[in-house]
Amino acid sequence: MQIELRKNIYWVGYVDWDVRDFHGYRTDRGSSYNAYLIKDEKIAVIDSVKAPFADHLLANVAALTPLDKVDYVVCNHAEPDHSGALPELMKACVNAELVCNEKCRKTLSMYYDTAAWKFRIVDEANRIALGMHTLTFMNTPMAHWPESMFSYVPEEKLLFSMDAFGQHYARSERFDDEVPLAEAMQEAKTYYANIIMLYGKPVGNVLNRAAGLDIAMIAPSHGIIWRKNLNPIIEAYKRWSVCKAEPKVLIFFDSMWHSTEKLAEAIYEGAKQPGVSVVKHDLKTTNITVLADETLDCAVLAVGSPTLNKGMMPKVAEALTYLQGLAPAGKAAVAFGSYGWAPRGGAHAVQDCLRNMGCELVREEPLQCQFAPAAEVLETAWELGGRLAEKALEIAEKKP
Ligand code: FEO
C-alpha cells in the first residue's frame, strides 16, 4: 500500500520492528527510518534509510517512478540511520543529484565513497523548483548534528524535520491521528530525552526560526508524521528544549545489602508530598533510557550508591555518565549511600558527578550511613525527602 502524505508526496521508508538498541538507547517499540518521495515534473527523494534496508527503499521508490527518473536525493542529516542507503540509492538513481549543505557533503564523503555522486550544495537562500512544489531549506546546526537541515515545501506547508519531532516507534500506521496520542507523545519525549536533550539551546533557536514557517504537517525521519496534533508536539518541544521541570523528584540507586535501598525508600516516603510526583528506580530493574526520560522533566535528582572498591557501583556510574552527557539543565540534586569502613566512597563520587553536571546540591555532604542505616539516619533521610519535595515545587514554579 502506498502511503500518501499529500497529493503526489509519499512515504517510502522502512519500519524496523526489531531494532532494540540505538547506541545504548533501548528502543523497545522499534523504530522507522522515514524517507519520502515528491512526484512532480521533477522527482525528489527526501532522506534515506539504514544501509541494511536499502532494498526496501529502492523498491518503494521504484513502485512510484523509474529510478532513472529521480532528479534529486535530499540528505537532511548524514547520520547513517538516514544516509546508510545513499550509496545504493545514488548508484540506482543514475540521474539524481545529491542535495545537501556543504557540511553534510563533507560528512558524507567521510562515510562513503562519494566520488561519483553529483552534488548540489544548497543553503538557505536556495530553492529547488520541482513543478507544483518547491523545496526550501533551513540549516538546523546541532539539532542534531552540525550538518542537520530541515527541508520545507511551502505549497503544502510541509516540513521534513529530520530527527526533530521524531520517535523510535514502529507502527504500521504513519500518522499521529491513527495511533494513541499519549503513546506517540511518550515516545517523542523518550526520543528527545535520549537523543536531543544535550542540544536544548540549538533546538530553541530552531523552534524560534521555524515559528516563521506556516506548517500544516511535520514529517520527521523517525516514527509517525504529525498532521493533527502539531500544537501538542511543538509546545512539548518548547518545554523540553529548556528542560522545563515538573514538581517531580527522581530517585535512583543501586544497593549491595539493602542499606542504600532503605535510604532510598525513606527519602521516597518523605518526598511524597501533595502536588509532588516521586519516582523511584532501582537500577537493577531499569535502564538508562528510562532514566533519561524521567530526568528530562524532573526538578530534583536523588542518586544513591554504596561504596564499592572506594567508588560507586557500576550501574550508578553508567547512569551518571549517560546523564552527564545529556546535560540536563536546571536540576537540584543530592547523593546518598552506605559505606563500610571508609567514609569517603560511593556517595561522595556520586556527589562529585552531580556537581559536575551543574546540579544545585541540596546538601553539601551526601547523606550516608555506615553499613546499615540506624533509625535516626532513616529519620534524616525521610526529612531529606521532604526538603526535596519542597525544592521540586520551588523549581517547578520558576520560569525557565
Ligand atoms: Fe536519526 Fe541523528 O539520526
Phi, psi (degrees; rounded to nearest 5) at 128: -120, 115
Q: For the chain, which domains are there? A: 3-241 (3.60.15.10), 249-388 (3.40.50.360)
Which residue owns the Cα nearest ligand 1 atom 1? 163
Kindly tell me if the per-residue pLDDT of 266 is higher than 80: yes
DSSP state of 336: E
Ligand 1 pocket, residue 168 CB under 6 Å: no
pLDDT in tens, 214-249: 999 999 999 999 999 999 999 999 999 999 999 999
Tens digit of each residue's pLDDT (9 = 90 or more) over 88-146:
999 999 999 999 999 999 999 999 999 999 999 999 999 999 999 999 999 999 988 99
In the reported structure, the alpha carbon of residue 393 is separated from the centroid of ligand 1 by a whole-number distance in angstroms of 35
Closest CA to 82 of 155, 162, 160: 162
Is residue 82 within 6 Å of ligand 1 at its C-beta?
yes
Going by C-alpha positions, the residue among 142, 238, 244 that lies closest to residue 198 is: 142
- Asked about 81 being catalytic, the answer comes back as yes
DSSP codes of every residue in 17-48: SS--EETTEE-TT-EEE--EEEESSSEEEE--
Helix (H) or strand (E) holding 264: helix 259-271
Mean pLDDT score, 53-78 = 98
Give residue 31's identity as a one-letter amino acid code: S
Residue 186 has pLDDT above 90, yes or no: yes
Distance 163 CA to ligand 1 centre (A): 5
Angle between helices 230-241 and 181-191 in degrees, nearest 10: 30
pLDDT the model gives residue 398: 85
pLDDT tens digits for range 79-89: 999 999 999 99
Which atom number of ligand 1 is nearest to the Cα of residue 33? 1
Is the Cβ atom of 222 under 6 angstroms away from ligand 1? Answer: yes
Question: What is the value of pTM for the model shown?
Answer: 0.96
Percent of the chain with pLDDT over 90: 98
Q: Which pLDDT tens digit goes with each residue over 21-36?
A: 999 999 999 999 999 9
List phi, psi (to 5°) of 8: 70, 20
For range 149-170, the mean pLDDT: 98
β 31-33/14-16 pair status: antiparallel
Catalytic pick among 191, 199, 322, 339: 191
| Nearest CA among 315, 309, 364 for reference residue 335 | 364
**How many other C-beta atoms are found inside a 10 Å radius of the C-beta of residue 279?**
16
* Residue 148 reports pLDDT greater than 90: yes
Interval between CA 80 and ligand 1 midpoint (Å): 8
Kindly state the average pLDDT of the residues 193-204: 95
Ligand 1 pocket residue status of 221, Cβ below 6 Å: yes
Asked whether 105 lines ligand 1 (CB < 6 A), one says: no
Q: Residues 317-364: pLDDT tens digits?
A: 999 999 999 999 999 999 999 999 999 999 999 999 999 999 999 999
Assess whether pLDDT exceeds 80 at residue 198: yes
Residue 310 has pLDDT above 80, yes or no: yes
DSSP state letter for 244: P
- Our CA dihedral for 96, 74, 326, 222, rounded to 10 degrees, sits at -100
Query: Phi and psi at residue 156, in whole multiples of 5°?
Result: -110, 0
According to the model, what pLDDT value does residue 1 have?
Answer: 77
